[in-house]
Chain A
Amino acid sequence: MLKLLKYELKKRKSTLIVGAIALAVAEGLVLYFLNRQGDYVIFSIILMFLMAFGVILLAFLDVAVQYYNDFKKSQGTLLFLTPNSGYKIVGSKMIFGALELLVGLGIVVIFAWITNTVAINLGYSGVTRQIREFKEVMALVFGDTGMWFAVVGFFLLVFLQYTASQSVAVSSITLGRTMLSRNSYNWLWAVLIFIGVNIGIQTINSLILVGIGMGDGLFNSTYTITNASEAAEMVSQVTKYLIVGGVQYIFWIVTSFFVSSTLLNKKVDL
């Protein structure tokens, strides 16, 4: 598996370097606009959002396109000729995608911290005050330690959600290839499967969350915290939804992995 991951990295070396440079340039622009102050600050905020969105999108596209190309281009033969099972091959693709996303989001978080520090130094009291107030409210509800658990839990959930999307994309490509192996439009088939499966997954996830009371539990209590017991109730609700949400995404990741790997072993023409 480690060897497969090594070659996944090697073939993407140039793309990842370009991506890292693009992120660094974007952060440079964020700081530049922040420094110019006035209306330019809005560009900084937009760029920060674009960076986060770009990392998620690029990691997703990279995983999907690389995997699709392994089937479509002759270079894929080099990989599929090796005595590696579908489990190892699909596993390496999914793990690499998850790592790519994790590192990308990590860089964005570091850049956001740098931006925040620069903003404080430049005297942007409005934004920094809001962040401080947000932290104070979070600390009040969750406690000092609990606040960091909630923040980490939220980021973990976002990470699992987009990793699940990558995994569903991988299984959609495998399914498309299984159904229409020699058709030049099997990419379109894969896209349609991806959209269909995603709608199905989101519907099931939502039904489960509503079923355990998310609708009238979380949102009502958000606005009615007036004492410690309500805060404790809020913490318990948030923890429950974070855990259930996380388990759901892990379930879809594992299901996608087994579907893709089994098909790759037994049904797909390579």
Chain B
Amino acid sequence: MKFASLPQLSDAHYRRPLLHTPFFEASRPWIQTDSFIAWTGYSTPGVYSTTEHEYFAIRNSCALFDLTPMVKYRVSGPDAERYLNRVVTGDMRKLAVDKVVYTLWCDDAGHVIDDGTVFRLGPQEFRLCSQERQLEWLQDSAFGFDVEIAEITADIAALAVQGPTAFTVLRAIGLEGLEQLKPMAMVHQDWQGHRVTVSRTGFTGDLGYEVWIAPEGAALLWNSLMEAGRNRGITPIGYEALDMARIEAGFILPDVDFISCKHTIRLGRESTPWELNLAWTVALDKGHFNGRRALLAAQATGPRRKLVGLELDGNKAAHGSLVYADKDNTLQAGEITSAMWSPTLKRNIAIARLDAPYCDTKGSLWVDLYLHRELQWERRNVRCKIVERPFYIPARRRATPPPER
């Protein structure tokens, strides 16, 4: 195991611990609300103008989202594949070069630490993207492997370009090879003097791409996209609009829809992959990996609870509400982790964590909903039922070549 040196930070980082991304100066003219969130050490817009406007750009035109703060690690070396196969639940032997896969990783007890995506850049080089910083776990896991782990979050700037016109906009700035680019795959090319990687990935469940570039090329990329997308409705979006799209797409967030086992304090609040309904991400047949022995045992005893999709009556989003098995609200079945009124689907949807006896309920469940209406709290007993996730999958999401708009 080799330790890569830590990224060099100037003393500016001490004066202002939260960084701006390389897109900040270029994006500044579009920031209207000055509403920022802290995201893994960066300050990024929660919203640029209004959340609804930005949300509709994702579904109807083209949204531009700065995902530079997403934590990125380079995993390289002769044992890189064997190493990742021991860390994550998926089978990395099946991941071809220039392909991407969604995966989980677990601790010894088979409890999920985090989820993320693995990009295979070469036979011995991978990029792991995650919500949380994982360097300590990744480096401790490297003991006994000939592999180098490097935190490269600050070395790569990334923009998600998502929505019906995303393909057309990217082609308009001169990026090539996108017609035949399938979902969860990537292409590399030289663009305006910069090395650019485009992957057909995203967190919106729509047609979309993520564009990866060195920080020096960030401003040029932003400005080119905004210019080329002007007549195709391109709109910079913040975290809030993205969060709406990801619920419709059925994607889950650590510490929102499940608690990372590194963050739980109370016993039993952790989750196995089965409990996240992500059995398809676990390759029990690939040989040993972290948590495998515990997962085999957990598989035998069955999940304690499960994440499910819910559809509720009415149009009021049920953030954090309790779910009951009976109309009288005496049998608690679980709780809602994410919820929204879906403007595109015109449905009241939610992701909920239901206890084992209730997670396959065919009939009605009940949600205890509190509404704050003109300074008065009102209580509603709302009927709901379990439905398939994802809630929203447009045909363009997977269409290759994608439709021109």
Q: Do A and B bind each other?
A: no
